Chains A and B, each alone.
Chain A
């Protein structure tokens, strides 16, 4: 049996480059203190990075894999499906400390950030956040991120681990331009931990550790609070699962304490990158590197909603001259959702028209634990992109029927108050 592992998790593609020995050393080095450079099996030059929860993951039975240069748990003792369903029925903790957290300070921070992304940040309410995109001059998507306009004098940005180097260079380059022009902006890359707590029982679990009324914190709003006695935690009501959830930025020295406190609630379990990926796909959320990348424009990717109205008029973001006209003119291809039964549909699977012509390709796919059907995202020729269109996918030389479906595949439960 040869198994093809299609591991596409988190907000970037899983780079499974470590050998067996390398992975074992990743796990062992935490305590023994061996560096990964000693391992000739690693193709990466730098050591694999560990989050502050590394030992905690291993202690709880985490199966560690290398992901975007980090050692991350793909699952724990529960099977993938059990972990996935637990998140939908109770709540799960995800370590997402590998993602890049940035604070943007200064009087001109909004202008600065708007020069890089498609969002209308100025119109955000205090402490409101939004999903947005870094775009490039060709109109392609450099990364997706969440930017929050805090009332603390900074913008708070969370972007993908796999794009951390690219994004930080990109922001630093713009910073240099702004500083040279005498504008007031500063970047601060935060080295704190980040955990996500996601699921219908998140609110009751977290409320026990807050003085503030969590029912006032609606979807995509953020607050700086003390959580279970740990001050200076930023709690943002957002996530990557489609469930009601939060991401908590917590001082790295106290994240284990917080995780243990949350886990002491029997309803709460740890979940890894495996479940994270099947949850986000059910929620219709893109995975950077798979569903969106520098070759896809926001219009092709069906992410026009991320482009603020004022931004479309002003065309003052990178690639605007290419992207904005596409909104009206439409694009040759579009990202769609697909549902099928039979063999699961995976990345790179060809999408065919009813008469067998190749009209697209799958960018993400997996069996849906909730729906017990196969779900996928991919790009198809625009003519075939309407919901309900009957198409085919080609799996192991056989064609299987698939239907274009709206996303999310599983209804979301974002908390609107």
Chain B
């Protein structure tokens, strides 16, 4: 149960006695209750770009582009858990981020998710289409719903992230 959580509740009735790990991923459980086992859409089946995706345990992905910048987004697993995204809070271009720094938030009707930087670097571009079309995060989380692009100060950080296979294994482990 080393899974880092996906969801935290703000409910005033929420028992603070619960350890963070069990509080986490609450909305993940309902998704698991569908009769089908989770095989979802595997990432490989959705895009040729997927081979280069690396994942964090907080369900962000980063793809190193040809020019050496990293494009960042959230995984299909995460967008499903979140539900219809209605608002994207994204950083300003030029923001310096250390790995795991909070860089923004995505909001659905019921849930708010902070976003944590997968890498150390500087924000060079933000997906401005999301201002008017936040639903792109749900419809195309690996392509048109990308969140931001950043420089990669420390390439070793990329290597240390999970590849697609490891991430799929990770999802299965936290769902069980």
A24-B26 Cα distance, complex, nearest whole Å: 11
The residue that B12 contacts in the complex, of A27, A278, A347, with Cβ under 8 A, is A347
B32 located at the interface, meaning its Cβ lies under 8 Å from any Cβ of chain A in the complex: yes
A216 located at the interface, meaning its Cβ lies under 8 Å from any Cβ of chain B in the complex: no
Residues of B within 8 A of A43 (CB): 15, 17-18
Known: A3-B6, A79-B83. A24 touches B29 (CB 8 A): yes
Q: How far is the CB of A365 from chain B (nearest CB, A)?
A: 10
B109 located at the interface, meaning its Cβ lies under 8 Å from any Cβ of chain A in the complex: yes
Q: How far is the CB of B90 from chain A (nearest CB, A)?
A: 11
The residue that A274 contacts in the complex, of B18, B32, B110, B115, with Cβ under 8 A, is B110
The residue that B30 contacts in the complex, of A2, A63, A84, A366, with Cβ under 8 A, is A63
B82 located at the interface, meaning its Cβ lies under 8 Å from any Cβ of chain A in the complex: yes
The residue that A23 contacts in the complex, of B15, B26, B105, with Cβ under 8 A, is B26
A20 located at the interface, meaning its Cβ lies under 8 Å from any Cβ of chain B in the complex: yes
Summarize B's interface: helix, strand, loop or mixed.
mixed
A336 located at the interface, meaning its Cβ lies under 8 Å from any Cβ of chain B in the complex: no
Known: A3-B82, A3-B113. A23 touches B33 (CB 8 A): yes
Q: Which one of B8, B18, B110, B116 has the highest number of Cβ atoms from chain A below 10 Å of its Cβ?
A: B110
Asked whether B58 lies within 8 Å of A2 as measured between CB atoms, the reply is yes
Closest residue of chain A to B22, judged by CB? A19
Q: How far is the CB of B156 from chain A (nearest CB, A)?
A: 23
Q: Which one of B23, B34, B107 has the highest number of Cβ atoms from chain A below 10 Å of its Cβ?
A: B107
Asked whether A6 lies within 8 Å of B15 as measured between CB atoms, the reply is no
Residues of A within 8 A of B17 (CB): 43
Residues of A within 8 A of B122 (CB): none
Asked whether A1 lies within 8 Å of B12 as measured between CB atoms, the reply is no
A261-B50 Cα distance, complex, nearest whole Å: 46
A405-B30 Cα distance, complex, nearest whole Å: 35
Q: Which one of B8, B84, B106, B109 has the highest number of Cβ atoms from chain A below 10 Å of its Cβ?
A: B109
Interface of B with A (CB < 8 Å)?
4-15, 17-18, 22-34, 58-60, 74, 78, 81-84, 86-87, 89, 105-116, 174-175
